[in-house]
Amino acid sequence: MNKLPDWFQKTAIILFWLALWQLASGLIHNRILLVGPLETLKTLAGLSLTLSFWKAVGFSFCRISLGFFLAFFAGILTGALSCWKPAVGAFLAPPIQFMKSIPVASFVILALIWAGSRNLSVCIAFVVVYPVIHINTVSGLCSADPMLLEMAGVFRVPLHRKALFIYRIFLGPYLVSACKTALGMAFKSGIAAEVIGVPGGSIGEGLYQAKIYLSTGELFAWTLTIILISAAFEKIFLLFLQKLTRTNCRPPHKQ
């Protein structure tokens, strides 16, 4: 018996859950409690025809992605310093543990006081992403083969060439794995912060307005928008990162 193609299996699974969603919507028959995928797409199509929709998408995407990139580069920098200078890692351990442990809602309130609502999602995305990138950078760099590093030292290979031809290869899989987790977390936490802070002209404001007016169709439409934006950004960024590190996304195997 021939095995079905992967794309066919994935499509069939998605269609099954969409049909189940539509069936549940029909059985409940209450637009406030649940709307189906067809009405969600119809509402999304209507929203996409308005300028305010695209402004909200641009507002939230730019701020969340800015927070992610700031955390990404800061995490790599401090992770590298922590690997090469353990004293730096010990010094940074308390604030990183604090960022990992503090509830997002608590930090949202603090960030509202410190940065205001318009830059709230930048701060929250940074706080959520930074520890993930830092910890995985330390793990990746410290996993570098000591024999290769010893050989590089014998031949007096400059630091920038060791970083390019040794550390990059070992860091790549850890960084890709970290970003797979961190990207989704950045968008989820960033939008959640916007719902609490309600900055004008954001996706969070759209979700908040949908809640106030009990517009479940708009709520699902905005949610679908977030999923699509997050998935597209993740695929593009990970594709670039994988090419940059030339890795197959698997941790290096040591003999």
- Please count the CA atoms within 13 angstroms of the CA of 193 that sit on its side-chain side: 34
| pLDDT for res 217 | 93
Burial of 67 (0-12, 13-18, 19+ CB in 10 A): buried
**pLDDT tens figures, 187-235:** 999 999 999 999 999 999 999 999 999 899 999 999 999 999 999 999 9
pLDDT, residue 31, reads 84
| Token couple for 122 | 């930048």
Cα–Cα dist 194/117, whole Å:
8
pLDDT in the model for residue 56: 96
Question: Chain-wide mean pLDDT for the chain?
Answer: 87
pLDDT at 99 exceeding the cut of 60: yes
Residue 250: pLDDT band with limits 50, 70, 90: very low
**How confident is the model over 84-95, as a mean pLDDT?**
91
99: left (phi over 0), alpha (psi -120 to 50) or beta: alpha
164 close to 244: Cβ distance less than 8 angstroms:
no
Taking Cα atoms as reference points, which of 182, 181, 199 lies closest to residue 108? 199
High-pLDDT (> 90) share of the chain, %: 56
Residue among 143, 124, 136 at smallest CA distance from 66: 124
Lowest mean pLDDT among 11-25, 65-79, 138-152: 138-152
Dihedrals φ, ψ of 59, to 5°?
A: -60, -55
pLDDT at 252 over 90: no
pLDDT computed for residue 4 by the predictor: 67
Measure the CA–CA gap between 77 and 133, rounded to whole angstroms: 10
Instruction: Reduce the DSSP state of residue 223 to 3 states and report it.
Output: helix
pTM for the complete prediction? 0.87
Nearest Cα residue to 218 out of 21, 42, 27, 62 = 42
CB atoms within 10 A of CB 225: 22
Q: Could you give the residue ranges of the DSSP H alpha helices within 198-248?
A: 203-212, 216-245
Amino acid at site 183? L
Q: What number is the average pLDDT over the span 9-32?
A: 89
What is the band of 161 on the pLDDT scale with cuts at 50, 70, 90? confident
Closest-CA residue to 79 (of 7, 168, 157, 139)? 139
Q: What is the pLDDT of residue 209?
A: 94
Q: How confident is the model at residue 109 (pLDDT cuts 50, 70, 90)?
A: confident
Residue that wins the pLDDT comparison between 153 and 65: 65
pLDDT score of 70 more than 90: yes
Query: What does the pLDDT average to over 41-64?
Result: 95
Where does the pLDDT of residue 2 fall: very low under 50, low under 70, confident under 90, or very high at 90 and above?
low
* The two three-digit tokens of residue 8, written as one number: 């066919």
Q: With CA atoms as reference, report the closest residue to 98 among 55, 134, 62.
A: 134
